[in-house]
C-alpha cells in the first residue's frame, strides 16, 4: 500500500502482480477523488465567475460614468439620446416593491410560523408544509401574469385611478410568494426552542398563545430576524413579477400607486432589446447587476450570521 515507493518498482519491472494491482487501484482512487473535487470546486468557480464578469463589465461602464453620477443621479435613461445613468430610480423601485412585499409577508409569514410551530397538530403540519413548498415551486412568471391580469384589475376597482402597471400589485403578489420563505425559516427557529422552556411557561398556567408570544417568540428572535433578512434578499432579487406587472419605466418614486422599474426589471428590459455587445447600455446592466449582487449578498451574509447565532444557542 506504500504508494511513494511504487513508481520505482514499476520502472524496474520487478513488480509483483499483486503490487501492480494495488498501484492501479490507488491511481484510480486518486483520480476519482480529483474529479469529484473538481465538481465541488465548480461552486467556487461559479461565484468567482459571477464576481469577475460583473466587475469586468462594470469596470468598462464606470470608465465612462462616474461613481458619483451613478449613485446620486436621479435619472436613469440609458436608452435615450440624452442618456443619464443615475441608479436612484431603480433603487427606489426595488425598495418600494420589496417594502410592499415584506409588509405582506412578514406578518402573514410570522403568524403562520407561530401557528405551525405552536398550535398546529402533527397532522396539520404534515399537510400544510408540503403545500407551502409547492407554492415555492410555482414559476414566478405565472405570478407575474396573476399580478398584471388579476390583482391589478381587482385593485383598480378599489382605486379607479391606478395605472395598469403599478408597484402595489407587483409588491403584493411578491409578498405572497415569499410567505413560505419566512414561515419555514421562522418555524425552524421556533421549533429549535427547547421544550423545557415551553413546559416552564405552561407550568405557570400560561395558555398556548401566551407561551407562544411571551416565551417562544422572544427565544427564537434571532432566527425570526434571519428569516426576515433572507426574505428581503429574495424580494430585492425577484424579477419576473416586477418586470411584468410594475412596468419598466425608471421613475424616482416611492408611491406604490406608480409604475416604476426595479433593478431586475431594467436588466430584463435591456436584454429584450438588442443593444450591441460592449456598448455602454450593455455594460449598464452589469453595473446594475453588480449593485443587486452586493445588496443580496449583504442580506444573505447578515441573515446567515444571525441564523447561526440561534443554532449555536441551543
Partner 1 sequence: MVNTQTPLKAESKDLNFFYASGHQALKSVSMPIYENKITALIGPSGCGKSTYLRCFNRMHDLYPGNKYEGQIIMHPDNTNILEHGVDAIEVRMRISMVFQKPNPFPKSIFENVAYGLRVRGETNKRTVADKVEEALKGAALWNEVKDRQQDLAFNLSGGQQQRLCIARALATDPEIMLFDEPTSALDPIATANIEELMSELRHKLTILVVTHNMQQAARISDYTAYMYLGEMMEYGDTDTIFTRPARKETEDYITGKFG
Partner 2 sequence: MAVQTTQTQASVLNNLDAVRAMIRRHKRNDILFAAVGLIALMIGLLTLLTLFIQLVSDGYPRFNLQFFSDFPSRRPGSAGILTAWVGSLLVMLVTFFTAVPVGVGAGVYLEEYAPKNLFSDLIEINVSNLAGVPSIIYGLLALGLFVYGLGLGQSILTAGLTLGLLILPVVIVSTREAIRGIPVAIREAAYAVGATKWQVVSDHIVKYSQGGILTGIIIGMSRAIGETAPIITIGALTFIAFLPPSPISDVAPYLNFEWLSSGFTVLPIQMFNWLSRPDHAFHINAAATGAIIIVVTLLMNGTAIYLRYKIRKNIKW
What residues from 109 to 138 belong to the interface with partner 2 (CB under 8 A)?
A: 109, 111-112, 114-116, 119-120, 128, 130-135, 137-138
Provide the minimum distance between the beta carbon of 194 and partner 1 in the complex, in angstroms, as a whole number. Answer: 8
Query: What are the Cα distances from residue 78, in Å, to 50, 75, 167, 247, 288?
Result: 23, 9, 22, 16, 12
CA nearest 24: which of 42, 43, 47, 6? 6
What is the CA 76 to chain-centroid distance, rounded? Answer: 25
> Is residue 124 a contact residue for partner 1 (CB under 8 A)?
no
Question: Would you say 286 and 201 are in contact if contact means Cβ atoms under 8 Å apart?
Answer: no
Please check whether residue 70 is in contact with residue 86, taking contact to mean a CB–CB distance below 8 angstroms: yes
302 binding partner 1? (CB under 8 A): no
* Residue with Cβ nearer partner 2 (86 or 109): 109
Minimum CB distance to partner 1 smaller for 198 or for 307: 198
Helix 280-313 with 17-64: angle, nearest 10 deg: 120
Per-residue binding string, partner 1, 176-215, x by CB under 8 A, is: ------------------x-xxxxxxxxxxxx--x---xx
CA 223/CA 184 separation, integer angstroms: 11
C-alpha cell at 198: 415551553
Residues 281-300 that bind partner 2 (CB under 8 A): 285-286, 289, 292-293, 296-297, 300
How far, in Å, CA of 212 to CA of 155, rounded? 35
- Identify which of 209, 20, 201, 245 has the alpha carbon closest to the alpha carbon of residue 118: 209
Q: How far apart are CA 5 and CA 249, in angstroms?
A: 70
Report in angstroms how near the CB of residue 254 gets to partner 2 at its nearest: 22
Which listed option, partner 1, partner 2, none, makes contact with residue 159 (CB within 5 to 8 Å by class)? none
Task: Please give the Cα distance from 291 to 91 (Å, whole number).
Answer: 9
- Cβ 195 to partner 2 shortest distance, Å: 19
- Grid cell, residue 207, equals 395558555
What 3-state DSSP class applies to 275? coil
Is residue 139 involved in binding partner 2 (CB under 8 A)? yes
- Residue 121 contacts which entry, partner 1, partner 2, none (Cβ below 5-8 A, type-dependent): partner 1
- Total site size for partner 1, rule CB under 8 A: 21
Residue 145 within binding range of partner 2, rule CB under 8 A: yes
Restricting to residues 211-270, which ones interact with partner 2 according to CB under 8 A? 212, 230, 233, 236-240, 243-244, 264, 267-268
Residue 218 interface partner, choices partner 2, partner 1, none, CB cut-off 5-8 Å depending on type: partner 1
Pick one of 3, 10, 20, 46: the residue that binds partner 2 (CB under 8 A): 46
Question: Which residue number, 122 or 157, has a Cβ lying nearer to partner 1?
Answer: 122
Under the rule (CB under 8 A), what is the footprint of partner 1? 121-122, 194, 196-207, 210, 214-215, 218-219, 221
Amino acid at each position: 500500500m506504500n504508494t511513494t515507493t511504487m513508481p520505482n518498482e514499476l520502472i524496474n519491472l520487478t513488480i509483483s502482480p499483486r503490487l501492480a494491482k494495488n498501484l492501479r487501484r490507488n491511481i484510480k482512487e486518486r483520480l476519482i477523488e480529483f474529479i469529484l473535487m473538481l465538481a465541488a470546486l465548480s461552486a467556487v468557480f461559479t461565484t468567482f465567475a459571477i464576481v469577475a464578469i460583473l466587475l469586468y463589465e462594470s469596470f468598462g461602464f464606470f470608465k465612462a460614468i462616474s461613481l458619483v453620477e451613478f449613485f446620486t443621479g436621479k435619472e436613469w435613461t440609458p436608452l435615450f439620446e440624452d442618456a443619464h445613468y443615475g441608479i436612484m430610480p431603480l433603487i427606489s423601485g426595488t425598495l418600494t416593491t420589496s417594502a410592499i412585499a415584506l409588509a405582506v409577508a412578514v406578518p402573514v409569514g410570522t403568524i403562520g410560523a407561530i401557528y405551525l410551530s405552536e398550535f398546529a397538530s402533527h397532522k396539520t403540519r404534515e399537510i400544510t408544509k408540503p403545500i407551502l413548498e409547492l407554492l415555492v415551486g410555482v414559476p414566478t412568471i405565472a405570478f407575474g401574469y396573476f399580478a398584471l391580469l388579476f390583482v391589478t384589475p381587482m385593485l383598480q376597482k378599489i382605486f379607479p385611478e391606478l395605472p395598469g402597471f403599478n408597484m402595489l400589485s407587483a409588491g403584493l403578489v411578491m409578498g405572497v410568494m415569499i410567505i413560505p420563505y419566512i414561515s419555514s425559516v421562522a418555524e425552524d427557529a421556533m421549533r429549535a426552542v427547547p421544550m423545557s422552556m415551553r413546559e416552564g411557561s405552561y407550568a405557570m398556567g400560561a395558555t398556548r398563545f401566551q407561551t407562544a408570544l411571551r416565551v417562544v417568540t422572544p427565544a427564537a428572535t434571532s432566527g425570526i430576524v434571519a428569516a426576515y433578512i433572507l426574505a428581503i434578499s429574495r424580494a430585492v432579487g425577484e424579477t419576473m413579477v416586477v418586470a411584468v406587472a410594475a412596468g419598466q419605466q425608471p421613475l424616482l418614486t416611492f408611491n406604490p400607486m406608480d409604475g416604476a422599474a426595479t433593478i431586475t426589471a431594467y436588466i430584463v428590459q435591456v436584454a429584450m432589446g438588442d443593444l450591441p455587445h460592449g456598448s455602454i447600455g450593455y455594460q449598464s446592466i452589469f453595473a446594475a447587476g453588480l449593485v443587486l449582487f452586493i445588496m443580496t449578498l449583504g442580506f444573505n451574509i447578515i441573515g446567515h450570521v444571525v441564523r447561526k447565532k440561534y443554532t449555536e444557542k441551543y
